[in-house]
Structures are given as C-alpha cells and as structure tokens.
Amino acid sequence: MRVTLVISTFGAGGAERVMAAMANHWAEHGREVTLITLASAREDFYALNPRIKRIGLEAAGVSSNIAAAVWNNLQRLKRLRQEIRASRPDIVLSFIDKGNVLTLAATLALRIPVVVSERIDPQYHDIGSLWGWLRRVFYPQAAALVVQTDGLRDWAERIVKSHAVHVIPNPVKPMLNGDAHVSGFQGNGCRAVAMGRLVTQKGFDLLLRAFAQCAAKHAGWSLIIAGEGPERTHLETLASDLGIRDRVRLVGVVQEPFSVLRGADLFVMSSRYEGFPNALLEAMACGCAVISTDCSSGPRDIIRDGIDGVLVRPDDVDSLAAAMDRLMGDQVARRGLEKRATEVSERFSTEKVMKMWDNLFLSILSGPPMADSRVQQGEDRQIRKAL
C-alpha cells in the first residue's frame, strides 16, 4: 500500500509527533510512505525512517493581503496536487484543519481517497469564518473524517455523514528507564513539570497562578515548563508579578521530552482545550503522577480519575491549586497514581492504535464504503472498550 501524508509543517508539535510515529511505523512494516509539507523540509523537528520519501514544498508563509492570500493558496494547491499525483498513493491522509481543506481541494477529481483528521477540539479552536466555511464545503468529499475522542463525534456528524466519522486516539510507546536531566534547571527538591506550546490554549497562566497559591507551603518544589511560543514574555512577567520567578523555569523546546518527564515528581496539564494530548500520555507512560484539567476533549479519555491521575475543573485556578497542593504534600498518593499511570502504554499502544488506522484504510480501499465502514467501526469500538 502506498500512503501519502500531508501536514502544513513538521515542527515541534503534537500532531507532527504523531504523524512521525505513524509514518515510521508504516515504513517499518513495508508501506511506501511519502510525507509532504507546505513548509520546507529543512524545518523538520522529528526524525523519519530513511525509507520515507520527504517532500517540502517551501510554500508556507503569511500573505500580506487578501489578493496575495488567494494567489498564494492557488500556487500551494497547484504544487500540492502535482506532488500528490507524483507519489501515486492508494490513499492520502491529511492532518489539521486548514491543511485538510487544501488537501481535499488539491485532490479534486483525482479519484484518490483522502482521509482528514482534526487534531484539536474544533469547537474551541477558531480557524476563522472563511476557513470554517471551506471546511464545511470540502470535508464531505473526504473518504473519512477522523477525530480523537467520542466527544467530538457529534460535531463531526454535523459536517459529514455518520458512517464517515471515525474515532482514533493517539498512540504512545512504553518509556524505557533512563537518567533524568532537565536542561537549564539544576538543584535538588521536587519538580512539577508542564509541557506544551506557550499559547493561551495551554493555560500556563492558570498554572502559574495555581502554583503561586501552593509555593509558600511547599518550599522544596519548583515548576518547570517545557515548550516555546508567543506567550513566553507574558508568562515570565506573570511569574515575576506573582513572586515565584525564582521557582519557575521556562526551558524552551526539548528534543527528547522524556528526559524532562523522568525527572518529574508531578506533571500538570492546565489546558483550556485539547485534542488528545501527547504530553499527558507520555507523562503517564513515564510513570508520572498527573493532574489535568477536564477540558471537553482528551484528558478524560486518558485519565481514570482517582486511579491513574486527577481531573479538575477547566479554567479554574482554585481547583487546580487544591489538587496540586494535595499531591505536592502527599508522596504516598503520588506513588499510588504513578503505579497505575504506566498502563496507558498498553491501553493506547502503537499496535492497537495503528490497527485502527489500518482497518480504516482497508475498509476504504476494499469498499463498498457504507458496509465496510460499519464493520470496521464495530471492530474499533471493541478496541476502544479495551482502552
């Protein structure tokens, strides 16, 4: 089977991390894989199997006005269509809203099945009225629309027919033991760790305020935030204003997140909304005690509240601070959560999740779509029950 993957960029993001894992898995299992980005391949963050054909269109960027945007997108569509045709795929898989629209537009009349996947909660993630309209126009042309949680199925079924909606979570690999090392942070004591792009969505401002409520009571604790983004200056200023700047480290993007996670005594996810957060999966796979906001999509499908993690009300500093205070002060409770946390490596194993993708692709290629889709979705439901 020849699979062509499309994503706008291949930087240090969660969707990119999952696509890299999927591409490598398929390449290792004998699939012919092509990965196309609008951005240059020189910007790649994740390593790819050398068998994967990598194409960077160098066609990303922000347009200066509407006329330029129309022209630039037409050129992107032309280049993308040429490269997809040249890759001779049996099936195309695209990640992320705007890229999905462009991929569907680029493959019009090519008679190639295209699967599109939303990687964040579209009910909260605003892509603008024009792109939202284009999504409603083009998504019904997809062979399937993949979302990451059952909670997003209703949203998806308002855009495409129900048999075309499929729920597939992210995979996670078991984490090998190794030395903990956190770049840019030295010293003894306990560490609360958070990870993600420094944007409003991730709620790091909420985390700083919650930590500030706990800091005086738990003098031996520090907070490490791994990631980069436009909110860095705001977060550094906020930490100073809250009087915790000397207890907080923003260590930037880390090439190997497990080096940070293995050194964590507590992992905290403070997001306002999510898709299916890799950082949370990976923290649990590393055996971290975790706290997460119970936002509408993602964490509740991963954490079994009180068993292998703790869920708190989203956008609620006091609830987050109370949970942090309790676990920071109770090593026994943290150890209990840690023991069960690693079970995510089995629940969301690469083998189980990739079987769901393979089932979907085979059902699309074998047809007829309606009948095979119902069988495949029934099998997927059985897999998800095991999760």
pLDDT digits (tens, 9 = 90+) for 57-67: 988 766 667 77
What is the pLDDT, as a whole number, of residue 185? 46
Mean pLDDT of the chain: 91
Tell me the average pLDDT across 71-81.
90
Task: Please tell me the pTM assigned to this model.
Answer: 0.87
pLDDT digits (tens, 9 = 90+) for 272-331: 999 999 999 999 999 999 999 999 899 999 999 999 999 999 999 999 999 999 999 999
Residue indicated by tokens 């609620």: 316
Q: With bands split at pLDDT 50, 70 and 90, how would you rate the model's confidence at 73?
A: confident
What is the pLDDT, as a whole number, of residue 181? 46
For a pLDDT cut of 90, what percent of the chain falls above it? 81
Q: With bands split at pLDDT 50, 70 and 90, how would you rate the model's confidence at 387?
A: low
The b/e string for 98-126 (b: 16+ C-beta within 10 A; e otherwise) is ebbbbbbbbbeeeebbbbbbbbbbbeeee
What is the pLDDT, as a whole number, of residue 255? 82
For a pLDDT cut of 70, what percent of the chain falls above it? 90
What is the pLDDT, as a whole number, of residue 189? 87
Domains of the chain: 2-171+349-386 (3.40.50.2000), 190-346 (3.40.50.2000)
CA angle 261, 263, 266 (to 5 degrees): 70
Q: With bands split at pLDDT 50, 70 and 90, how would you rate the model's confidence at 184?
A: very low
Gap between the Cα atoms of 153 and 317, Å rounded: 29
Kindly give, in sequence order, each residue whose CB lies less than 8 Å from that of residue 343, ignoring residues fewer than 6 positions away.
Answer: 308
The answer to whether residue 369 scores a pLDDT higher than 70 is no
The answer to whether residue 335 scores a pLDDT higher than 90 is yes
Q: With bands split at pLDDT 50, 70 and 90, how would you rate the model's confidence at 110?
A: very high
Query: Could you give the strand order of the β-sheet that contains 91-95, starting from the edge strand earlier in sequence?
Result: 53-56, 32-37, 2-7, 91-95, 114-117, 144-147, 165-167
What is the pLDDT, as a whole number, of residue 384? 52
Gap between the Cα atoms of 94 and 115, Å rounded: 6
For 193, the token pair is: 């760790």
The answer to whether residue 180 scores a pLDDT higher than 50 is no
pLDDT digits (tens, 9 = 90+) for 128-146: 999 999 999 999 999 999 9
Tell me the average pLDDT across 344-364.
96
The answer to whether residue 92 scores a pLDDT higher than 80 is yes
